[in-house]
Amino acid sequence: MIEVKYFGAVAEKTKCEFEKLSFSEELSLQKLLQNLEEKYQFESLTFSVAVNQKIVSKASSYTLQTTDVVALLPPFAGG
Amino acid sequence: MNTDKRYNRQIILPEIGTEGQEKLANAKVLVIGAGGLGASILPYLAAAGIGEIGIVDHDVIEISNLHRQVIYKTAAVGKSKAEEAKGMVLELNPEIKVTAFAEKLSAKNAISLFEKYDIIVDATDNISIKYLINDACLVTNKPMVYGSIFRFQGQVSIFNYQNGPTYRCLYPDEKVNALNCEEAGVIGITVGIIGMLQANEVLKMILQIGKVLNGKVLVYNILNNEQQKYDFEKSSEFEISKEDFEKKYNSSENQNAEIKFELIWNEISSDEVLFLDVRNNDESPKISLKNQIQIPLMNLEREIEKLDKNQVIYVFCQSGIRSKIAVELLQRLQFKNVKGIEGGALAMKKLLKDDKIKV
């Protein structure tokens, strides 16, 4: 199981602020993001991605570990 | 001395002392935006004795601002935010120097403005201006104190501090679609908290105490009181020189992608053009022109096949912010003749109501 956190407009699309996802095979960050994109259709939403509180490249081939926490952070505009 | 008395309770903090107070008195801080964040930041900077404060805002106060922009009085509706904010903070602390710039921040004035100050505070409410502030901070080598909110959540960070990472390192994709307060809704407390965190970063930076959010973005959720810090690194591909800056912004500001409705009203029943409403279905005022379709901004990319790349398209939203994003998106997707309508449906309805135009 890994935990995925959603913020701002991304959380409005997913309709939840976090979820736990299980995976059976090796899962790269890039593949996880593809899966989430298919599930939630983020489309024109822009966001940065963090693994364990550190912003990383979305194209990362990093293999997710079961204790990892992934976060999707969109920029905010209000002020 | 009066000054010592005024600041006594902070001077007696071992972290500040008279030396720290002098640092504050010698500091020059430019606050861009005197809206919700600015209304929270400005009084605290002024009261603490920041020697020189600049306030940039070209807007006037509207009644719908008052619930969150708490430094303004009801009687000030219609007046300049920069001027009113200046008056308010000088009443609070007449010992400091405050300058109001009631003008829009643009590539033309950003560099010369930033050069006069030590720290630039981003209290604006749209993303493209944040990229402009970031880039102008890089050119002038000033730190940028960033804050922004989405509904009950906020973000705070420091960019370009001691050659540290920048806004572009955190958010490289400039073509962003994000709602501001007018569109997404907001309560005063959210901007109040985030603005105060920004003011706190400014003070820490000047006093050189604690740890500022250099290379970290703080994300705060006021509904569950959770806050997290995310680290991000500097990427050298986002360096920007003065030449890069001029090249980038001269070309984009010349590309006038907005048009006044008055200039195109005779096209409202023409088959040659299409009016595209990118608001959601439930927004009013309703505009219904014969040659109009509605695709909410969020769905635009998905429903792009409904549009013809060669047609003249006039895009509008409520006030002109989402239409700007839509125009940028369409231009990126090779649409050749797209313009946003200045002031959006509100401006259009006004003209239609004035009966200048018959639909």
Identify the bridge partners of residue A5 per DSSP, sorted by sequence position: A18, A71
Angstroms from B121 CA to nearest CA on chain A = 12
Angstroms from A14 CA to nearest CA on chain B = 14
Q: What is the largest CA-CA distance in chain B?
A: 75
Identify the bridge partners of residue B32 per DSSP, sorted by sequence position: B56, B122
For B180-247, the DSSP string reads: -HHHH---HHHHHHHHHHHHHHHHHHHHT-S---BTEEEEEETTTTEEEEEE----GGG---HHHHHH
Contacts of A55 in chain B (CB under 8 A): 170, 217, 230-233
Quick check: A53 and B230 CB within 8 A?
Answer: yes
Q: Who contacts B91 (Cβ-Cβ below 8 Å, separation ≥6)?
A: none
Token pair recorded at residue A58: 């979305």
Quick check: B148 and A73 CB within 8 A?
Answer: no
Domain-by-domain residue ranges, chain A?
2-73
Quick check: B178 and A8 CB within 8 A?
Answer: yes
Q: Complex ipTM, two decimals?
A: 0.96
* Total residue count of chain B as it appears in this document: 359
- pLDDT over 90 at B2, yes or no: no
Computed over every residue of chain B, the mean pLDDT equals: 92
A69 shares contact with chain B (CB less than 8 Å): no
* pLDDT: which is higher, B177 or B106: B106
How confident is the model at residue B354, as a pLDDT? 60
% of chain B with per-residue pLDDT over 90: 71
A38 shares contact with chain B (CB less than 8 Å): no
- pLDDT over 70 at B255, yes or no: no
Identify the bridge partners of residue B301 per DSSP, sorted by sequence position: none
How confident is the model at residue B357, as a pLDDT? 46
> Which of B228, B229, B317, B329 would best serve as a mutation to test chain A binding (most A beta carbons within 10 A)?
B228
How confident is the model at residue B1, as a pLDDT? 54
User: How distant, in Å, are the alpha carbons of A6, A50, B332 from that of A11?
Assistant: 5, 15, 26
How confident is the model at residue A25, as a pLDDT? 84
A37-59 pLDDT per residue, tens: 999 999 878 999 999 999 998 87
Angstroms from B263 CA to nearest CA on chain A = 30
**Which residue type is seen at B332?**
R
For A70, name the nearest residue in chain B, comparing CA atoms only.
Answer: B230
Q: What is the pTM of this model?
A: 0.79
For B175, name the nearest residue in chain A, comparing CA atoms only.
Answer: A46
How confident is the model at residue B358, as a pLDDT? 44
- CA–CA gap between residue B141 and residue B134 (Å, rounded): 10
% of chain A with per-residue pLDDT over 90: 80
CATH classification code of A2-73: 3.10.20.30
For residues B103-119, give the mean pLDDT.
96
Contacts of B153 in chain A (CB under 8 A): 7-8, 76
Q: B341 in the Ramachandran plot: left (φ > 0), alpha (ψ -120 to 50) or beta?
A: beta
Contacts of A50 in chain B (CB under 8 A): 230
> Which of A12, A44, A56 would best serve as a mutation to test chain B binding (most B beta carbons within 10 A)?
A44
Q: Is B348 exposed, middle or buried (0-12, 13-18, 19+ CB in 10 A)?
A: buried
Contacts of B127 in chain A (CB under 8 A): 75, 77
Instruction: Report the residue from A8, A45, A55 with minimal CB separation from B153.
Output: A8
Number of inter-chain CB pairs under 8 A, A vs B: 105
Token pair recorded at residue A24: 């059976």
- CA–CA gap between residue B314 and residue B234 (Å, rounded): 39
Residue ranges of domains in chain B, CATH in brackets: 2-254 (3.40.50.720), 258-353 (3.40.250.10)
Report the Cα B197 to chain-centroid distance in Å: 17
- pLDDT over 90 at A61, yes or no: no
Contacts of B36 in chain A (CB under 8 A): 78-79
Q: How far apart are the first and last CA of chain B?
A: 69
- CA–CA gap between residue A6 and residue B229 (Å, rounded): 14
How confident is the model at residue B296, as a pLDDT? 93
Tell me the three state secondary structure of residue B331.
helix
When pLDDT is cut at 50, 70 and 90, the band that residue B272 belongs to is confident
Q: Which of B189-198, B224-233, B333-342 has the lowest mean pLDDT?
A: B333-342
